[in-house]
Amino acid sequence: MASKILIIGACGQIGSELTFALRNIYGSENVIASDISYGNLDIVNSGIFEIVDAVNYASLKTCIEKFNIDTVYLMAALLSAKGEKFPMRAWDLNMTSLFNVLNLARDKFIKKVFWPSSIAVFGPTTPVDYTPQYTIMEPSTVYGITKQVGERWCEYYNNKYGVDVRSLRYPGIISWKTMPGGGTTDYAVEIYHKAITNGHYECFLKEDTELPMMYMDDAVKATVDIMQVKPEDVKIRSSYNLAAISFAPKEIAKSIKKHIPEFEISYKPDYRQEIASSWPKNINDSYARQDWKWKHAFSLEDITDEMLFQLRKKFAGVLNKSN
């Protein structure tokens, strides 16, 4: 019998693209998408979709039993910038949903779990250059705290109960398909949209704020890759460092100007600057590259080429009407 997969938070930025990727691999009938609302009609209409509140254990268990789920991707979370505005909501969503999934795996209702961590686990005392896998982690945001605590619980459930849980510390993710959901690295998506629609972007970070970034296709590939390898090849059960490229706002602006010479950027740092300043500039992900042969594909120039090409197509009708 084919493996049945449940994606929690399937309407989100990563969840939506991961859902399509997994349906292409395993078949739409074997990948059940879920979220708390019908937030992405492309996802809702492309296969089986269920309303599931991951904070509600009974709701989650009912869905898992209904479809005989054996693998869960827990992609629901309140991200860094939004989490600072609603700290208790972020703690409740991010932690309760994880405990619900881990407990269902412990009790043998499911066999395998993917849970995303983040570079937000690091903090201002972490080495910022090529941040190692094992290092100081003193996160200064609620989101980062939930991810650090979550990593420890994932490792604990693996050691104590044998739960096959796998995790990646995502950097900033760039995608043209869905708008970001309240993260500190959102500027790297917004800037492309503004370059196409009005030729100017006001950045909420300083021009030289270097952060680790990754194109969505690489993030999805890494997620699929780590879930497909044998359990013995997953040697880190807290969360793997994951990296592709690092750049600052002025560098992404420069790459856009190669395609749109008239593009202008200005800078007005806000509360997200303090968050970004507490994170690494770049990441050492040698364990992922060694243990399960991780390799990224997209450079900054590749990302800019793809983002501008796809967004021009996406906004073609709107731009034509305004001209």
143 catalytic? Reply is yes
Instruction: Give me the helices (H) in the chain, please.
Output: 13-26, 41-45, 57-67, 80-85, 87-91, 97-106, 142-161, 187-197, 216-228, 249-257, 271-277, 286-291, 300-314, 316-322
Count CB neighbours of 106 within 10 A. Answer: 15
Q: Are 295 and 240 in contact (CB under 8 A)?
A: no
Q: How far apart are CA 257 and CA 272, in angstroms?
A: 25
Q: Are 183 and 134 in contact (CB under 8 A)?
A: no
* Complete edge-to-edge strand list for the sheet that includes strand 49-51: 49-51, 31-35, 5-8, 71-74, 112-114, 164-166
Of 143, 170, 187, 192, the catalytic one is: 143
Name 290's Cβ contacts closer than 8 Å, sequence gap at least 6: none
Task: Fill in the DSSP letter of residue 173.
Answer: E
Name 295's Cβ contacts closer than 8 Å, sequence gap at least 6: 289
Whose tokens are 């590749």? That residue is 302
Q: How far apart are CA 280 and CA 171, in angstroms?
A: 10
Supply the angle between the helices 142-161 and 97-106 in degrees, to the nearest 10.
10
* C-alpha separations of 319 from 188, 193, 261 in Å: 21, 12, 18
| Catalytic residue list | 143
